[in-house]
Chains A and B, each alone.
Chain A
């Protein structure tokens, strides 16, 4: 297992985080922005598991952080989609540029 250096695994998670960030910068559709956020949360999970496995193998904290992050991501996705569907009912669009009622 130690044939692959830790920094290569962290390379994957960092790259995935910045891919998600690129999606968040360029997209203006709420569902696709939510998908970018899911990618970023996943990259954080990879980080936690890697650190737990290779640097602190006698503890379980990283595993638990990952489990709780996955749980909270599920709750967050459900609430966000409820908000998106409600917004679609009132505006007929889920573009963030169109939702300007609370802007000023």
Chain B
């Protein structure tokens, strides 16, 4: 086993373990912290795959943004020391069965498919990504870029409108 393989298997075990803890922990704040570690592990996996830009985006947006947002909303809506109520046993068993069988079938398909990797070097430098992102010709992504920016604007306005506190009108 080479160092690269060992790093990959350690990272995978870390991601999956933290993910399992995150969906089974009964304290909601701890659950958010396990999710944070799982996302950091995924960023590490991107670094291992040498896609540094995606890894940086993962850390900035997920770890620095979404998890902080989730933790704030936990503070605003929950008593974070209290344990959540247990799921009924029946629901747990049914969920576990569905998940195990779904996983088994999906992985069987993946394992049988026989992917053939190409040995071309994958050039994903930031310069190439930036050129493709703002390119209007064939192979450019400027239209989805604009659509996503409109979506972000709409989401921002929507959040402000939804979370706005309506003051009781004074007579």
Contacts and interface: CB of A to CB of B under 8 A. Distances in A.
A10 B19 CA distance: 16
Contact of A26 (B8, B35, B92, B141): B92
A3 to B, nearest CB: 5
Indicate the member of B12, B111, B128, B151 with the most A CB atoms within 10 Å. B12
Interface in A38-96: 38-39, 42, 45-46, 49-50, 52-60, 63-64, 66-68, 70-79, 81-86, 88-89, 94
Contact of B73 (A38, A60, A68, A85): A85
Nearest to B57: A70
Indicate the member of B54, B102, B110, B129 with the most A CB atoms within 10 Å. B54
Q: Could you tell me the dominant secondary structure of chain A's interface residues?
A: helix
Nearest to B54: A66
B120 A57 contact: yes
Question: Chain A: interface residue count, which band?
Answer: 35 or more
Contacts of A57: 118, 120-123
Nearest to A25: B95
Nearest to A41: B62
Interface of A: 1-4, 6-12, 14-16, 18-23, 25-29, 31-32, 34-36, 38-39, 42, 45-46, 49-50, 52-60, 63-64, 66-68, 70-79, 81-86, 88-89, 94
Interface of B: 2, 4-5, 8, 12, 15-16, 19-20, 22-23, 28, 31-32, 35, 38-39, 42, 45-46, 49-51, 53-54, 57-58, 61-62, 65-66, 69-70, 72-74, 76-78, 84, 87, 91-92, 94-96, 98-100, 102-103, 106-107, 110-111, 115-124, 128-129, 132-133, 139, 141, 144, 148, 151-152, 155-156, 158-159, 162-163, 165
22 contacts: A2-B119, A8-B8, A10-B107, A11-B110, A15-B16, A18-B99, A19-B16, A20-B19, A22-B96, A25-B91, A25-B95, A29-B28, A29-B84, A31-B77, A32-B31, A38-B62, A46-B42, A57-B121, A60-B128, A63-B124, A71-B151, A77-B70
Going nearest first, the 10 A-B pairs with the smallest beta carbon separation are A23-B23, A25-B95, A75-B155, A57-B122, A54-B117, A82-B163, A82-B159, A82-B162, A57-B120, A18-B103
Contacts of A36: 23
A89 to B, nearest CB: 8
Contact of B148 (A2, A66, A68): A68
A9 B120 CA distance: 19
A76 to B, nearest CB: 8
